[in-house]
Copies of this chain bind each other. A is one copy, B any other.
Amino acid sequence: MVKKVLKFGGTSVGTIERIQHVAKIIQKEHSSGNQVIAVVSAMAGKTNELINLSKNISDNFNKRELDVLMSTGEQVTSALLAGALSELEIKAKSWLNWQIPILTEGEHTNARIVNMNIKKIDTYLTEKGVVIIPGFQGISKNADITTIGRGGSDATAVAVAKILKADSCEIYTDVDGVFSTDPNKIPVAKKIDQISYDEMLELSSVGAKVMQSSAVQTAMLYNIPLEVKSTFTNRNGTRIFDEDNIDYSKSVTGVAYSKDDAKVTITGVEDKPGVAANIFEPLNKSQINVDMVIQNISSDQKKTDISFTIKREDLLKTLDILKKNKNIKYENIIHNEKVAKVSIVGAGMVSTPGITYRMFRALSEEKINILAISTSEIKLSVIIDEDNTLNAVKKLHTIFELD
């Protein structure tokens, strides 16, 4: 007997037919003798619908009440799924977060799960009941409803798996798993059978979003085996676990990319402590998300150039903030508003020599100019002109034998 947490995302429960289909997936697990805890999202589109209602009242809607409002989305799905399981004559019950309870800390709309009471849940599982839990929410110390940020149902699933000591946590979604690159754009993209937490994090943060990053981090921290798989096919998904358990036959696991980026370079910045902080603090305060940061030593040893990338929509605001910033001295601000980031990701990269060189040569063969480079242990990212994105991804996918 295995204890499994199954998480079903918004598209997986987007219609009544799909909820009935999810009930059948659970039925299969249940009749195999597994203990099943299902964590569900709101039906696709529902959370946005609720947020739009609140926005019609105020763009700055009371956050406590926004949580009360939004939490109904997952509550509806939980009730419908429990009802659909009853209809299949399976013992099942929706467990709202206050009924368990699942406890959170932190502010409204951005809390985090810190604990849950497992007693009643474990008893119900022992009695062969299927436990349905609305994701994305919890209860604060003051018994208020809290939510844990968009995509938070993944975090609920991982937290529940951790606290209930589940044997696995399966993330059912609308794709077959994690791919070597975007299958919608690059038809030769291949599903990855197994991947380490680190690689998953790098791939998901650069565009191959199938699972919320902080949930993967939690799974990594507590070593909870994950599997991302499709609700709509019977195929095996992608298993995500500790890299020690993964056999790296390939040095590169996948090629990720993000578009709609912009690059800003500040030249001739004084090279002394505190400069970077002075540049980025006001951007952070204005909620501008800075992605890659590269600092080059310029020819003049007292001065340096700092480049960074941001979302294109933040470009004008960023330039405005930089120009008004009295705390930095610089020569010039240059920007490029149509760039993309292309990354190769692989936990095996560190032990394979020549990866960097092969990447640069491949891009040069395609006559693609590299505007910036950034590396980590398991990722190598370049900034290029956006027009070259697909060419670059295809070429890298081929030369690293992912086709």
Contacts and interface: CB of A to CB of B under 8 A. Distances in A.
A57 B84 contact: yes
B99 A143 contact: yes
A71 B58 CA distance: 24
Interface string A23-52: 000000000000000000000000000100
- Specify which of A61, A68, A71, A99 lies most central, judged by the most chain B CB atoms within 10 Å of its CB: A68
Nearest to A15: B56
Q: How large is the interface on A (under 10, 10 to 19, 20 to 34, 35 or more residues)?
A: 35 or more
Interface in A294-348: none
A375 interface: no
A61 B76 contact: no
Given A82-B68, A83-B62, A16 B76 contact: no
A47 to B, nearest CB: 12
A99 B53 CA distance: 24
A68 B53 contact: no
A86 B69 contact: no
A209 interface: no
A96 B83 contact: no
Contacts of A80: 53-54, 57, 65, 69
A64 B93 CA distance: 8
A110 interface: no
A87 B57 contact: yes
B72 A86 contact: no
What 3 A-B pairs have minimum CB-CB distances, sorted nearest first? A69-B79, A68-B79, A72-B72
